[in-house]
Amino acid sequence: MGCDIHMWYERKSGDDWTDVEVPLNEWKMGPLDHRSYAMFGFLAGVRNYSAITPISEPRGWPKDFRYSRPGRTDDDVWYRDSDDYMFDEYHSHTWLSIDELLSYNYDQIVEDRRVTRNGNGGVTCDPGEGNQETLREFLGEGFFDDLQTLKECGVERIVFAFDN
C-alpha cells in the first residue's frame, strides 16, 4: 500500500491563517502534493528509506490550523483546538513555513541509502553503501519549481499530513 501526502496552503491575514489558491497540475494536484518518498523523507521523515535527515520531525497540527476540504460546505470546516487531537485518516501531521524551506541549505551532501533488493524498493542499505549527492540533486528540480510557485502565490505556510 502506498503513502500519499495531503497539503494545505496558507498565508497570514491579520490574526488568522487563510487558504491560498495555487495552480493545480493536470492531475488536480498542487505544488508538493504528489507521491515522492524522497520528498516525504525530507519534509517529515515519512517513508524515509533513503535515511536522510528531515528538515523537521513532525510538529503536529498547528493550533491555529483551519481544517477544510475542497468541495465541503462551511458546516464541514472547523478549527483544531488541541495538540493531541488526531484526524483518524492522517498521520505525521506537521507544518513548515515557506521561509524555512527557501532558506535551507540544499547544497549539502546527503547519502541516499534507498536500494532495491529482491524486488522490494523500500530497503535501506548500510551507511556508506548509498549514493552521495547534494540534497538539491536528491530532491530534483521539480521540488524547487514547486517552492517557487508557492512563493509566487504568496503561500507562507504549508500544513500537511500523510495517509497509508
Residue 39: is its pLDDT beyond 90?
yes
Q: How many domains does the chain have?
A: 1
Which grid cell is 111? 547519502
Average pLDDT over residues 144-156: 97
What gap in Å lies between CA 107 and CA 114, rounded to an integer? 20
CA dihedral 79, 37, 71, 156 (to 10 degrees): 50
**Beta strands at 66-67 and 114-117: parallel, antiparallel or unpaired:** unpaired
Whole-number pLDDT of residue 87: 55
Q: What does the pLDDT read at residue 73? A: 42
Does residue 3 contact residue 163 with C-beta atoms inside 8 Å?
A: yes
Degrees to nearest 5, angle at CA 116 with 110 and 122: 75
**Cβ within 8 Å of residue 32, ≥6 positions away:** 5, 7, 39, 43, 143, 146, 147, 150, 158, 160
pLDDT of residue 90: 82
Query: pLDDT at residue 123 above 70?
Result: yes
CA nearest neighbour of 100 among 157, 62, 164: 157
Q: In the prediction, which pLDDT does 68 show? A: 55
Looking at residue 82, its pLDDT comes to 38
Q: What is the pLDDT of residue 79?
A: 40
Over residues 7-26, the pLDDT tens digits come to: 999 999 998 888 899 998 88
Rounded CA gap, 132 and 117, in Å? Answer: 19
Q: What are phi and psi of 115, to 5 degrees?
A: -135, 165
The domain in which residue 115 lies consists of: 4-163
Among the residue ranges 28-37, 96-105, 111-120, the one predicted with the least confidence is: 111-120
For position 145, what pLDDT does the model report?
Answer: 96
The more confidently predicted of residues 28 and 153 is 153
pLDDT for residue 150: 97
Per-residue model confidence as pLDDT tens digits over 51-107: 999 999 999 888 888 765 444 344 443 444 434 344 567 889 999 999 999 999 999
